[in-house]
Structure 1
Amino acid sequence: MAVVALAVFAVAYLLIATERINKVKAALGGAAVVVAIGTVGSDDIFYSRETGIDWDVIFLLLGMMVIVGVLRQTGVFEYTAIWAAKRAKGSPLRVMILLALITAVASALLDNVTTVLLIAPVTLLVCDRLAINPVPFLLAEVFASNIGGTATLIGDPPNIIIGSRAGLSFNDFLVHVTPLVVIALAVFLAALPVLFRGSFAVEADRVAEVMSLDEREAIRDVRLLVKCGVVLGAVFAAFIGHSVIHVEPSVVALLGAGVLILISGVERRHYLGSVEWDTLLFFAGLFILVGALVKTGVIGKVAELAGAATGGSPLLAAMAILLVSALLSGVIDNIPYVATMSPVVADLAATVANPVHGQALWWSLAIGADFGGNLTAVGASANVVMLGIAAREGYPISFWEFTRKGAVVTALTVGVAVPYVWLRYFVFG
């Protein structure tokens, strides 16, 4: 069964990567095969936390998509777009840097999927005003979201899994990971002019037109904006206070969406029109495919081999976990990867005499999985969401277009992480 599950995953992944057929059809088709041959059943798909669909991710996305659909009716995205363009003096490069920085910070405070859902409409409007291609800007933002989300416990879903398994708090992430993220983000922002060379040409009359706009005129419904602000504030507060209130972000997002639908009076076609149904179905298929690899022991075996190859050296183990996590998280979604790898890291950490070295293994897993999410279009949830939005708006981004840029970003950030882990935990630790 393991060989069959691996073969089906490989074929589906190849179809997604080469774009021979629609990625949703490839993921759902592969999922149908592993179900049909009995590799996974309904219990595995719908009820198992290890092998099934991650409903927290699906419903978090659904809830936030509905909230964004209501928020779109206020004109706040147009306001933010004009504000950002004017603050950047109409310079596309400065716009990209500003939006990427906002995305990174917001991803650390919220989560990267929610941030992408909020920032993408703003970006599309800015680029429309300046008459420039939004694809480089969307890519820069999703890369920034995965980097920024690494900084905190709630910034990226894998961090929540690691924090729970290793007993790491919100403050632990701030102390140990945030300094690295600041360095990696600075390197990434400095690389943007080279990474997206040729994407910053803009006509002078477009700049003059944007600078003459009054962003306050973009707000169409002040009362609805106030209602959205109250609900969003409550949702974000619940996200941040997850460890205190013990309500999952997915439940918070659905409740927030429900309340906003009730009090806003917005027509159904407006808020449902913002739901990326293809993205949700793609995630479901991908979770089933990866779940088949988990159930048949493929992912666990790969993780164990990676651990055994370290030969008992904590430094070698940390570096191996960091690099292998960055690579594998780029190939499969980093959420199921971290869920599978966590028990292996726990066993390895328990055998390390020095607690600082043992904790370094956990940080290596978090950093590698989060930074590795930038490697390919399916490496992180935020990537899939951003590409879905881009495709719907008429700007499809191919798997390889994403990967060509993502590989460079991953190499830069992981390249910064390697000396950071070595110096902090094995030289000065």
Structure 2
Amino acid sequence: MHHTARKFSLSVTAILASLLVTLSPHTFAAVGSLDLTTSGIGYFSLVLFVIAYLLVMGEELLHLRKSKPVLVAAGIIWMLLGWVYTQEGMPHEAEHAFRHTLLEFAELMLFLLVAMTYINAMDERNVFDALRAWMIRKGFNYKTLFWLTGFLAFFISPIADNLTTALLMCAVIMKVGGEDKKFINICCINVVVAANAGGAFSPFGDITTLMVWQAGIIPFQDFFALFIPSLVNFGVPAVIMSFFIENKKPDALDEAVEMKRGAMRILALFLLTIVTAVSCHTFLHLPPVLGMMTGLGYLQFFGFFLRKTLPGSLARKRAIAESRGDQAALRRLGDVVPFDVFSKIARSEWDTLLFFYGVVMCVGGLGFMGYLALMSEVLYTGMGATVTNIILGVVSAVIDNIPVMFAVLTMQPDMSTGDWLLITLTAGVGGSMLSIGSAAGVALMGQARGMYTFIGHLKWAPVIALGYAASIAVHLWINADLFVK
């Protein structure tokens, strides 16, 4: 994986975690005392947000960082709210709403930082590179590689997040596929669908599931009711696409990657951190971020151990390498630096984090004006929860699933557990229908530039849509009892 791709994946991992915390049901469900949906200030704020989001969508064309327009829009929207409420003799109501939103976002940010730090640490210890090298050395044929990368993406993404997983699998595909554009394109599509589907049944796999879990709407264990629908979402298009894979076998490549000391122990600590976060939320009814921050302490203690024992470890390895005359090993040992937790945090993509702050505050402000309550009545009351959730999943293929899910959580519609799981599923996998519909797809277009393209993905959109429909049908069937309030 390229360094920039890794850096981007880690930053998004953090973002996902943080955003989930932000969406506590008590945060944005409240509507202000004043209905501003038909006021000039309300219309102005709505237009301002749309313009800001259009600028975000044109980031590549304008070369304008996406955080700038939403930060300015968020500031103006809340200043207008403060001015209106002050004029009406309620100066503290808007202040309290803003502070509450900000507090929840800070909780989200801490969650994000821990998840990002662990993924960064495992990346620095060569965990992902070692897995990639193992797959490359095996010399699998194209069909085996197609299914292997798909299944690994599906089962790794619930823990490592869908973006990091997709980038890892794409690195393998690019290495083995060489100049075979058709094979690389179809494999990348399969990986995007698999990673998004795998992330849909785990709170740690995608931001949409994390948001719903952090909001306390669905217990951790109940998300696994989406396992079979998610598997169907991945399996249906994968089976169809597999018939178009040539039965070729590329030459096995001799690539060896040695994991650094402590790599597997850091992975174990990450799993322990997840258990701690889930236990805090499930058994102690405390925010999951408490468990995540405790897990950061685990990593810091282990980092201290690695630093203190580094000289002795290097001396032993250097003696062994010298006795064998292994010059390559001696060169590697000369590049070893002490493990530093905070250097991993410093690699974050802060523009992305600030972008999500802006989006959250903008949507929170519009919700406080009453727009989301109005939208909830039009959609969920007028059309019904199930139909609306299916439509919003399709919308997430064009509009990022994070603001879509954020808006739903802000609306707080009265839905059954089955419908909350449905919007979690559709918002999570709906983005697979277009390459620009998910972070995984966008990242892979950059990593496999010219090989995996928007048009190449669009050709398979009907097949992916078939998997989308099948997963919804399976969820409605096997989880029918969850749709009863």
Question: What is the TM-score when the length of structure 2 is the normalising length?
Answer: 0.64
1:32, distance to aligned residue in structure 2 (A)? 0.7
Q: For residue 388 of structure 2, what is the aligned residue in structure 1?
A: 321
Q: For residue 335 of structure 2, what is the aligned residue in structure 1?
A: none
2-structure distance, mates of 1:189, 1:363: 23
Mapping of 1:197-346 within 5 angstroms? Answer: 207-210=250-253, 213=254, 217-221=256-260, 223-241=261-279, 242-244=281-283, 246=286, 247-248=288-289, 250-251=292-293, 254-255=296-297, 258-259=300-301, 261-264=303-306, 265-266=338-339, 271=344, 274-310=347-383, 317-330=384-397, 332-335=399-402, 337-342=404-409, 346=413
8 Å CA contact 1:326–1:372 kept in 2: the answer is yes
1:230, distance to aligned residue in structure 2 (A)? 3.6
Letter in 2 for 1:189: A
2-structure distance, mates of 1:398, 1:340: 31
Q: For residue 352 of structure 1, what is the aligned residue in structure 2?
A: none
The residue matched to 2:251 in structure 1 has which SS? Answer: helix
Letter in 1 for 2:382: A
Q: Which runs of 5+ in 2 are unaligned?
A: 1-40, 83-93, 307-337
Q: Which moved more, 1:403-412 or 1:22-31?
A: 403-412
Letter in 1 for 2:390: L
Structure 1 residues 52 and 44 mapped into 2: Cα distance closer, same or farther (>3 Å)?
farther
1:180, distance to aligned residue in structure 2 (A)? 1.6
- The answer as to 2:123 corresponding to 1:81 is no
1:422, distance to aligned residue in structure 2 (A)? 4.9
2-structure distance, mates of 1:260, 1:43: 42
- The answer as to 2:38 corresponding to 1:13 is no
Structure 1 residues 327 and 182 mapped into 2: Cα distance closer, same or farther (>3 Å)?
closer
Identity of aligned residues (%): 17
Of the two, which has the highest radius of gyration? 2
8 Å CA contact 1:70–1:260 kept in 2: the answer is no
1:415, distance to aligned residue in structure 2 (A)? 1.3
1:320, distance to aligned residue in structure 2 (A)? 1.6
From 146, 155, 166, the equivalent of 2:196 is 146
Structure 1 residues 283 and 304 mapped into 2: Cα distance closer, same or farther (>3 Å)?
same
Q: For residue 48 of structure 1, what is the aligned residue in structure 2?
A: 100
Structure 1 residues 257 and 63 mapped into 2: Cα distance closer, same or farther (>3 Å)?
farther
2-structure distance, mates of 1:328, 1:340: 13
Structure 1 residues 325 and 403 mapped into 2: Cα distance closer, same or farther (>3 Å)?
farther
1-structure distance, mates of 2:360, 2:295: 21
**Cα RMSD over matched residues?**
4.4
1-structure distance, mates of 2:46, 2:265: 48
1:83, distance to aligned residue in structure 2 (A)? 1.9
Letter in 1 for 2:344: Y
Question: What is the TM-score when the length of structure 1 is the normalising length?
Answer: 0.71
2-structure distance, mates of 1:305, 1:12: 24
- The answer as to 2:75 corresponding to 1:35 is yes
Q: For residue 420 of structure 2, what is the aligned residue in structure 1?
A: 362
8 Å CA contact 2:73–2:362 kept in 1: the answer is no
1:81, distance to aligned residue in structure 2 (A)? 0.8
8 Å CA contact 1:319–1:418 kept in 2: the answer is no
Structure 1 residues 160 and 219 mapped into 2: Cα distance closer, same or farther (>3 Å)?
closer
Mapping of 1:336-415 within 5 angstroms? Answer: 337-342=404-409, 346-347=413-414, 349=415, 358-374=416-432, 383-384=438-439, 387=442, 395=449, 404=458, 411-415=465-469
1:306, distance to aligned residue in structure 2 (A)? 0.8
1:370, distance to aligned residue in structure 2 (A)? 2.4
8 Å CA contact 1:279–1:384 kept in 2: the answer is no
Q: Which runs of 5+ in 1 are unaligned?
A: 311-316, 350-357
Q: Deviations over 1:155-192 (max 9, x none)?
A: 44434554577864344333x42222222221132244
- The answer as to 2:171 corresponding to 1:124 is yes
1:80, distance to aligned residue in structure 2 (A)? 0.8
8 Å CA contact 1:153–1:159 kept in 2: the answer is yes
From 219, 222, 225, the equivalent of 1:169 is 219
The residue matched to 1:151 in structure 2 has which SS? Answer: coil
Structure 1 residues 259 and 282 mapped into 2: Cα distance closer, same or farther (>3 Å)?
farther
Q: Deviations over 1:54-93 (max 9, x none)?
A: 44554444333333333333333332112223456152x5
From 103, 122, 127, the equivalent of 1:71 is 122
8 Å CA contact 1:276–1:389 kept in 2: the answer is no
8 Å CA contact 1:334–1:369 kept in 2: the answer is yes
1:337, distance to aligned residue in structure 2 (A)? 3.8
How many residue pairs match? The answer is 392
1-structure distance, mates of 2:455, 2:347: 25
Q: For residue 228 of structure 2, what is the aligned residue in structure 1?
A: 179
From 154, 168, 181, the equivalent of 1:104 is 154
The residue matched to 2:233 in structure 1 has which SS? Answer: helix
8 Å CA contact 1:135–1:395 kept in 2: the answer is no
2-structure distance, mates of 1:3, 1:402: 39
1:276, distance to aligned residue in structure 2 (A)? 3.1
2-structure distance, mates of 1:5, 1:407: 35
Letter in 1 for 2:233: A
Q: For residue 313 of structure 1, what is the aligned residue in structure 2?
A: none
2-structure distance, mates of 1:406, 1:28: 35
Structure 1 residues 104 and 229 mapped into 2: Cα distance closer, same or farther (>3 Å)?
same
Q: Deviations over 1:173-215 (max 9, x none)?
A: 33x4222222222113224458xx89x899x7xx3241xx2x6
1:368, distance to aligned residue in structure 2 (A)? 2.6
1:309, distance to aligned residue in structure 2 (A)? 1.8
1:2, distance to aligned residue in structure 2 (A)? 3.1
Q: Which moved more, 1:370-379 or 1:82-91?
A: 370-379
1-structure distance, mates of 2:460, 2:63: 19
8 Å CA contact 2:157–2:199 kept in 1: the answer is yes
1:364, distance to aligned residue in structure 2 (A)? 2.9
1:46, distance to aligned residue in structure 2 (A)? 6.9
